[in-house]
Amino acid sequence: MKISILLIFAVNSVTAFCPSRSDGVVTKLNGGSSGYATTLEGKTARVEKVEKLLESSEMLIKVRGDALTVKEVQLLRRSLPESTTMSVVKNKLMLKACEGTDYQNALSDGLSGSNMWFFIEEDIGGTVKSLNAFTKEAEKTESHPILGGITEGTFYDAAKVTAISKLPSKLELITKVAVLVKAIPTKVARTIKEPGAKLARTIKLVADQKES
């Protein structure tokens, strides 16, 4: 009787200290390295999820994916823009998800080790800023720098990724163009009504606006 009680206590103790797959922490941190994620069905579901992320991403950034605590991973994830998804994906599954896309050739070489991927839907600048702030605060600047990024089928090194992050976002560009287009008719009409206005001056104004 005493032996049975001891065995039950031991099993319950182990269960209490071993998080189940349902909490999602182990799967998210290690890219789905245990349980359901290792089955064919689990791997297929993982690839399909990555494919959907790639379809909606403007840019893909790569960072070293190991040597981070669960707390650090959670902190980094919370600091990212809402439109950016961070995930550790096994290299074989990543390559499978990229087949037939603009990312395939850019990822064909040099894909090794554990990699953390940032699927950026629109806010490249905000994502890079958050990532740099995290590595500085966590003293991971040297161990977890940006390893590169991919956009429109081209791989860029860390320096170029940083340069790209400083460019205006698509939303900012669209807003600027919309303002300029809206302003063209008003400025043209004002120029035509001016005393002594010439047609050449009006044409030049429109051309300048289009170039802007």
Provide the CATH number for the domain around residue 51. 3.30.70.1730
- The domain tally of the chain equals 2
Of 165, 180, 199, the one marking the end of a domain is 165
Q: Which pLDDT value is given to residue 212?
A: 56
Q: Quick check: 27 pLDDT over 70?
A: no
For 40-76, the pLDDT digits (tens) are 999 999 999 999 999 999 999 999 999 999 999 999 9
Q: Quick check: 14 pLDDT over 70?
A: no
Q: Please, are residues 134 and 140 in contact by the beta-carbon 8 Å criterion?
A: yes
Are 157 and 207 members of one domain?
no
Mean pLDDT over all residues of the chain?
78
What are the structure tokens assigned to 61, written together?
Answer: 């950034």
Q: Please, are residues 50 and 93 in contact by the beta-carbon 8 Å criterion?
A: yes
For 91-149, the pLDDT digits (tens) are 999 999 999 998 998 886 668 899 999 999 999 999 999 999 999 999 999 999 999 99
Are 73 and 153 members of one domain?
yes
Residue 84, classed as helix, strand or coil, is strand
Q: Which pLDDT value is given to residue 168?
A: 77
For 166-179, the pLDDT digits (tens) are 987 666 656 666 66
Which residue in this structure is represented by tokens 């809206």? Answer: 182
Q: Quick check: 199 pLDDT over 70?
A: no
Residue 152, classed as helix, strand or coil, is coil
Residue 155, classed as helix, strand or coil, is strand
Residue type, 193: K
Q: Can you point out the beta strands (E) in the chain? A: 59-64, 84-88, 115-120, 146-151, 154-156
Are 126 and 190 members of one domain?
no
Q: Cα 39–32–11 angle (5° rounding)?
A: 85
Q: At what angle are helices 170-193 and 199-211 packed, to 10 degrees?
A: 170
* Residue 154 region by backbone torsions, left for phi larger than 0, else alpha for psi between -120 and 50, else beta: beta
Q: What percent of the chain has pLDDT over 70?
A: 62
Q: Which residue range forms the structural domain that includes residue 205?
A: 170-211
Q: Quick check: 13 pLDDT over 80?
A: no
Best-predicted range by mean pLDDT (153-162, 180-189, 195-204): 153-162
Name the more confident of 60 and 3: 60
Please tell me the distance from the alpha carbon of residue 38 to that of residue 21, in angstroms, as a whole number. 12
Are 153 and 78 members of one domain?
yes
Name the more confident of 6 and 62: 62
Q: Quick check: 158 pLDDT over 90?
A: yes
CA distance to 125, 127, 152, 162, 168, per residue, from 165 (Å): 4, 8, 15, 5, 8
In sequence order, the 6+-apart residues with CB closer than 8 A to the CB of 90 are 31, 32, 33
In a domain, 3, yes or no: no
> Has this prediction a pTM greater than 0.85?
no
Are 141 and 161 members of one domain?
yes
Please tell me the distance from the alpha carbon of residue 85 to that of residue 173, in angstroms, as a whole number. 23
In a domain, 11, yes or no: no
